[in-house]
Amino acid sequence: MKKLIILSLLLWIPLAGMANEGGNLEHVRLNMDDQAALQRGAKLFVNYCMGCHSAAAMRYKRLTDLGLTQKEIEDNLIFTGHKVGEPMVSSMDPKQAKAFFGKAPPDLSVIARSRGTDWLYAYLKGFYKDPSRPVGWNNAVFPNASMPNVLVALQGVQIAHKEAGEHGETITLELEKPGSRTPEAFDRDVKDLVSYLAYMAEPAQLLRKQYGPYVIGFLLFFTLMAYLLKKEYWRDIH
Ligand code: HEC
């Protein structure tokens, strides 16, 4: 019995590790069952991220999961000259990128699993102006990141107010110059983008959710049948 208890406790460990690390990060509720939102996220990804980052574990063709046709994918989402059956690889040469930014932009196929979606949301909203940095930007959740602020045209320019506190420095961001999107619209954009990154990290989750109700339905139906069968078997015995 003791062994069983220990075993069942051990089984929880990987789950606890996968839970989104909370910290002080704002929790973001993703749009995993909203196809239009995931499509917008995919569009943002190919337009604003694939200049530097790849998602080599993902084939363009798989985006049909999001309700897009192959033709739509070819016409609207492929800017790298690749074919629809090929993986989503950036046309930037990693060596060149490293020389340029000091760090090679990592592949983002499963970034939602390694960093967690709350972190990604905070990161993408967390860029602020910092002339002391080589690229001119710094980041509130990833200090001294060497990625430039690629969404600045949408978000606008943020500045940071730093305050030393008991638990280290707290950074408050303020919008100094608005971008083309209102703050609310920009939050939605980033949420769509992070939802898309979460989808890429585990594409099967959409199917799993689609099948869920059928599986439950089948189980209910099966329970009913088993019950009726039991009644039938025991009818003459009492
Ligand atoms: C101009 C090139 C460039 C573009 C465009 C770009 N990035 Fe980056 N990104 C980088 C570089 C370089 C790093 C490495 C930063 C470091 O480690 O200091 C990075 C790091 C990251 C990281 C952190 C990875 C980690 O765990 O260390 C994430 C997440 C990320 N980028 C997401 C994005 C997303 C999402 C977009 C599109 C909105 C994007 N990036 C667009 C260059 C770019």
Quote the pLDDT of residue 159.
97
Quote the pLDDT of residue 13.
63
Quote the pLDDT of residue 17.
46
Give the nearest ligand 1 atom to 100 CA. 12
Quote the pLDDT of residue 211.
87
Quote the pLDDT of residue 164.
87
Give the nearest ligand 1 atom to 197 CA. 35
Q: Which of 118, 147, 155, 199 to mutate to test the pocket of ligand 1 (most atoms within 8 A of CB)?
A: 147
- What lies within 8 Å, CB to CB, of 177 at 6+ separation is 156, 157
Ligand 1, atom 33: closest residue by C-alpha = 49
Ligand 1, atom 6: closest residue by C-alpha = 49
Give the nearest ligand 1 atom to 50 CA. 5
Quote the pLDDT of residue 19.
47
Considering only CA atoms, which of 22, 72, 29 is closest in space to residue 198? 29
Distance 60 CA to ligand 1 centre (A): 20
Distance 217 CA to ligand 1 centre (A): 43
Q: Report how far apart, in Å, the C-alpha atoms of 105 and of each of 109, 118, 148, 178, 183 are.
A: 12, 20, 11, 27, 27
CA separation for the pair 184, 178 (Å, rounded): 12
**Residue 153 exposed, middle or buried by CB count within 10 Å (0-12, 13-18, 19+):** exposed
Backbone angles phi, psi at 181, to 5 degrees: -110, 150
Ligand 1 shell residues, CB under 6 Å: 48-49, 51-53, 101, 103, 105-106, 108, 111, 115, 120, 123-124, 145-148, 150-151
Task: Please count the CA atoms within 13 angstroms of the CA of 134 that sit on its side-chain side.
Answer: 9
Provide the residue count of the chain. Answer: 238
From first to last of its 238 residues, the chain has per-residue pLDDT tens of: 777 777 777 766 655 444 444 467 889 999 898 999 999 999 999 999 999 999 999 999 999 999 999 999 999 999 989 999 999 999 898 889 999 888 999 999 999 999 999 999 999 999 999 999 988 999 999 999 999 999 999 999 999 999 988 888 889 999 999 999 999 999 999 999 999 999 999 998 888 888 889 999 999 999 999 999 999 999 888 6
